[in-house]
């Protein structure tokens, strides 16, 4: 059977002692660097990337896969423990993972993310082998209008997910899109919003924005809260690390749903892991009998996005490789690394380099397995980081932010930028305007403009092209549906009630009320 032949072939490529060793090294280093606060998965992969260039393409790619998974896992660890998400996808995991850690149960979400990642990887590998050829063919039918509408849908979804006002979420998306315009416009060669600075010609670095808006802003917020700051540094017994039966039971269906959703969204080019995890979170919230627990430490809010994230990350390799459009910033980095190894993504890569394609898929699975073996005993070490008093932790985070950001391009300008973005991010926290939708807008901005331009060129300036093409129309209708559902009076009332109260606790206007 072709399905299992392909998988078996992949394992025969990825399961040699040397590749296994490189995968192991990649996972270990990826986790170690990725778990350092202020250094997200992107920075981690970026820093470790040069090592893989000394290896053969297959070994290099397998080690890269290990680094990728280690970095992502390290990223969700810091997201859960310190609320320092390194990617848009781990922003979602932190929504419920961090409250659980704050509530004195940091172990279970950490263990469950590893476990769920592995389950999702098992799921995704079968999906890829079974559906890679037909799905790639389907995705190939997408033209610019479909890409554009798909991105609009993703952005509307991100705006709908925010705590509080939908309008503010939409405004943050638009602001993100505008920030994405910064730098050289590749179509016309004109520099936009650079204010004459050469440092901004390449645009705002995604990593710098993430570290500023999430890392630094969070430090500022914690410091300003002073004694009102929630105490996360409590003693945790080893036994409490292990997820209880309840955790496992409540995670089964979310994991399945998350994996399915992640696989489905992952194969759509441009969607990527971030949209998948946002969507999985929204779905869990919707199907839950107790949606009010979300944002306060619901296990489903951790496991479903994590499963979706991992499934999407793997499945997004099909369109990423066959069309050449990365789903997110991490994918873009991986794509760049493959090209350095001489593997140029294009329609023929599965046929021409089956050893590479299936080897990569298999090594993702192996990377996840190694992560599971490596991390179950090490979770306790990550948890102990929580017991570090904040007056020791925050100067450490600041140091790593400063050096980490500097090391990206060896530019002190980036450190200045991160300082400004940190202050802006803190302002957003105070104004109760969430920054996560902004991030998605920033990443998708240039891609959105490119596809809008192409579509409008195709239709000679007629915007009807987006509703005349059925796939494009379907994406737009889905986007409208998301907005309609969120704006329904009943849900709006519940939403406002829940977040209104939650936001006032420790919020800027927390007077007597």
Partner 1 sequence: MPIRVRIREPEDCLSGLLFLFLGVGAAIIALNYPIGTAARMGAGYLPIMLGGLLALLGAIITLKSLDFSAAADDAPASSGFGAELRRVMRPLVFVVAALLTFVYLLPRYGLVAAVIPLVLISALADHRPRLLMALPLSIGLAVLAVLIFVHGLGLPIRVWP
Chain contacts with partner 1 (rule: CB under 8 A): 36, 47, 165, 167-168, 170-171, 174-175, 177-178, 181, 185, 187-188, 190, 192-193, 216, 219-220, 223-224, 226-227, 390-392, 394-396, 398-400, 402-403, 406-407, 410, 412, 415-416, 418-419, 422-423, 426-428, 430-433, 449, 452-453, 456-457, 459-463, 508-509, 511
CB of 509 to partner 1, least distance (A): 6
342-354 in b/e form (b: 16+ CB < 10 A) is: ebebeeebbeebe
- Which of 382/428 has CB closer to partner 1? 428
**Extended beta strands in 71-190, E state:** 183-184
- Which of 56/187 has CB closer to partner 1? 187
3-state helix, strand, coil split of the chain in percent (to 5) is 75, 0, 20
CB of 363 to partner 1, least distance (A): 23
Q: Which residues are registered as beta bridge partners of 192?
A: 183
- Rounded to an integer, what distance in angstroms lies between the CA atom of residue 391 and that of residue 395? 7
CB of 179 to partner 1, least distance (A): 9
- Which of 120/402 has CB closer to partner 1? 402
Structure tokens at 376: 């179950």
CB of 412 to partner 1, least distance (A): 5
CB of 174 to partner 1, least distance (A): 5
CB of 408 to partner 1, least distance (A): 10
- Which of 136/162 has CB closer to partner 1? 162
Structure tokens at 121: 């990887």
- Which of 123/428 has CB closer to partner 1? 428
CB of 433 to partner 1, least distance (A): 5
**How many residues comprise the chain?**
513
- Rounded to an integer, what distance in angstroms lies between the CA atom of residue 479 and that of residue 475? 6
Question: CB–CB of 74/33 below 8 Å?
Answer: yes
Phi first, then psi: what are they for 343, rounded to 5°?
-105, 100
- Which of 61/401 has CB closer to partner 1? 401
- Which of 225/339 has CB closer to partner 1? 225
List alpha helices for 346-488, DSSP H. 349-352, 354-384, 390-409, 412-430, 436-458, 465-468, 470-487
């Amino acid at each position: 059977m072709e399905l299992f032949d392909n998988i078996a072939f992949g394992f025969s490529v990825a399961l040699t002692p040397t590749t296994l060793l490189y995968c192991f090294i990649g996972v270990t280093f990826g986790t170690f660097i990725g778990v350092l606060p202020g250094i997200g998965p992107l920075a981690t992969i970026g820093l470790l990337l040069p090592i893989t260039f000394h290896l053969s393409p297959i070994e290099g790619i397998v080690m890269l896969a290990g680094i990728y998974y280690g970095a992502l896992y390290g990223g969700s660890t810091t997201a859960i423990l310190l609320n320092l998400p390194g990617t848009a996808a781990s922003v979602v995991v932190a929504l419920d993972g961090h409250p659980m850690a704050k509530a004195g149960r940091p172990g279970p979400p950490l263990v469950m993310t590893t476990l769920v990642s592995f389950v999702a990887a098992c799921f995704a590998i079968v999906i890829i082998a079974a559906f890679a050829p037909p799905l790639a063919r389907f995705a190939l039918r997408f033209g610019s209008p479909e890409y554009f509408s798909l991105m609009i849908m993703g952005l509307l979804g991100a705006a709908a997910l925010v705590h509080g006002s939908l309008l503010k979420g939409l405004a943050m998306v638009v602001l993100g899109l505008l920030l994405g315009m910064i730098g050289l416009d590749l179509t016309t060669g004109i520099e936009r919003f650079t204010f004459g600075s050469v440092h901004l010609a390449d645009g705002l670095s995604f990593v710098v924005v993430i570290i500023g808006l999430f890392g630094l802003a969070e430090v500022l917020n914690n410091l300003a809260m002073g004694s009102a700051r929630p105490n996360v540094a409590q003693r945790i017994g080893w036994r409490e690390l292990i997820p209880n039966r309840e955790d496992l039971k409540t995670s089964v269906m979310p994991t399945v749903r998350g994996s399915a959703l992640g696989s489905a969204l992952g194969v759509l080019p441009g969607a990527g892991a971030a949209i998948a995890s946002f969507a999985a979170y929204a779905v869990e919230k919707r199907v839950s009998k107790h949606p009010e627990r979300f944002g306060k430490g619901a296990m489903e809010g951790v496991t479903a996005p994590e499963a979706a994230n991992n499934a999407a990350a793997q499945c997004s390799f099909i369109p990423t490789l066959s069309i050449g459009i990365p789903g997110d910033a991490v994918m873009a980095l991986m794509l760049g690394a493959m090209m350095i190894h001489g593997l140029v993504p294009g329609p023929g890569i599965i046929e021409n380099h089956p050893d590479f394609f299936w080897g990569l898929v298999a090594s993702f699975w192996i990377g996840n397995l190694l992560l599971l073996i490596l991390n179950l005993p090490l979770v306790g070490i990550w948890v102990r980081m929580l017991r570090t008093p904040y007056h020791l932790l925050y100067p450490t985070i600041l140091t790593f932010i400063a050096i980490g950001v500097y090391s990206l391009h060896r530019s002190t300008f980036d450190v200045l930028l991160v300082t400004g973005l940190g202050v802006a991010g803190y302002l957003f926290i105070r104004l109760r305007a969430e920054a996560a939708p902004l991030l998605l807008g920033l990443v998708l901005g240039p891609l959105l403009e490119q596809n809008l331009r192409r579509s409008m060129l195709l239709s000679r300036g007629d915007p009807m092209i987006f509703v005349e093409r059925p796939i494009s129309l379907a994406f737009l209708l889905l986007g409208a549906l998301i907005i309609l559902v969120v704006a329904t009076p009943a849900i709006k009332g519940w939403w406002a009630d829940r977040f209104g109260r939650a936001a006032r606790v420790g919020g800027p206007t927390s007077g007597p009320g």
